[in-house]
Structure 1
């Protein structure tokens, strides 16, 4: 690694660290992280670099930037992999900083990003992406039904999938109705978001915001994924942290009726189920398969609690559905 860093970036190593599971070094009090970008198109990396450079210019000193090589390339080959080098200033830990407030500030900055985004844009694409995902899994499910289940995981998947098709159809219809019924407010313009925003997305030790995790989308993507992660890992219930997070966020960015409905549509989509099944079939690790089998069993065991969570979501976080003009899902309230 010493030779790689010196040859391509003219950097030396003072000490090594690990960040988000990636290899990192510290040189002259600056943190550098080597991030694999397999299967990324050059246009994607260019757009990510544009977004990170812009956020730094807007005053976010905790955003990492993609460092070009000494020859001006954004990517480099290391151990047969395409990688980028992300440069992050070393800061003290974030301590008790309000994560909802900081995310609202992040989205507000990102909303004024002035350049066109195409490769990493997901704005307006949820319906298509959800339909594509469920159609692909349905074809796979039909094959498994024909060949008969060979493992406990496959038995659970075959039995449960029709229910999750129904839940996905509800999410898609709710999304379509939202786009037909509500007019977006200024806050609903696209901004810089994350693939999966959770409490751990911004490293607690260095509080680094990694741009390689970013997409360009509606801000409720991040809110929904944070809430989903907190709910699933919080014994399947609304916890104080979710309520506090939403209160902190809304102080800086009050949600519009369109936002509330988009947030709810994303919570309706059973992403945790899809990721569990997809993860099981792409891994060769026996240990990971066992963990994902336990995870699927837990998801199915708590499906009734998930329905109650969705049915009472707005009430539990203190939102008046009539004032926010948010329709419910009748069958969830049975």
Structure 2
């Protein structure tokens, strides 16, 4: 009898410990509170629009609200630093464009993709060339020819040194074209500059100009890529006009990524990745991607190894392009960025 009592007590204790462990796991399961998503650029740009749409879908699978905060400045480095300075608990995440790959060589910060863990390389928002509805340029050839005929005179708005618009300008330069560049805080501001006729054109992201194209306030002249957009098959690509630009245009200029700081627990990273994979299967997200002709990078780079390889190749191409053209202050060699053969 005594032995039975001892065994029963042991079973009760074991079950109690098991139940306690389950309760603790449930209590500590991520997430337990709302999440903050930092977008390190101004409101209304491609990163902001895409980040907010992804946040809507993520909430469905994380079960907690996500507050999107715009924190622009210094080519994204201010917002990125906010995430790195936050607690390593996964409750502050970063949804950023490509600037993490250029901040070091541009002398803006010492941060890079290596300081973060990628949750998802989400999408690439195609770069397009737009002008005012009353612009004298009717075709992409008209614009290119005017730049050739008036070097340094045709005005182009962009988001500042090291940004995707700046990289576009350097590709123009390599093709023998020279524009007058005017920097603005964000992509939306660059569009306003075109609408206000402060500049002749801009290299915008497609998602940020669709409304203006539909209203007729902007004209779409070209696509900065190798392939034409399905939504505008009549509009030529820049590679069709600028011979020799192909090796540069076969590149996603605005890859948008969801990241957390590098020392966030693996369990949190796993939870976020699982939710992100489910989020991009939501019909709302699919409709958003289709409507804005976004490239589904999450299908090309589905795991951490492929994401990190993508970042390394992207960083090499763009960093060396900036440095070789005198746009970057610091050699990529200092950071161990190899110059790949393209």
TM over 0.5: no
Which structure's residues are more often strand, by fraction?
Answer: 2
Higher relative contact order (CA 8 A, sep 6+): 2
Give the TM-score normalised by the residue count of structure 1. 0.29
Give the TM-score normalised by the residue count of structure 2. 0.28
* Bigger Rg, structure 1 or 2: 2
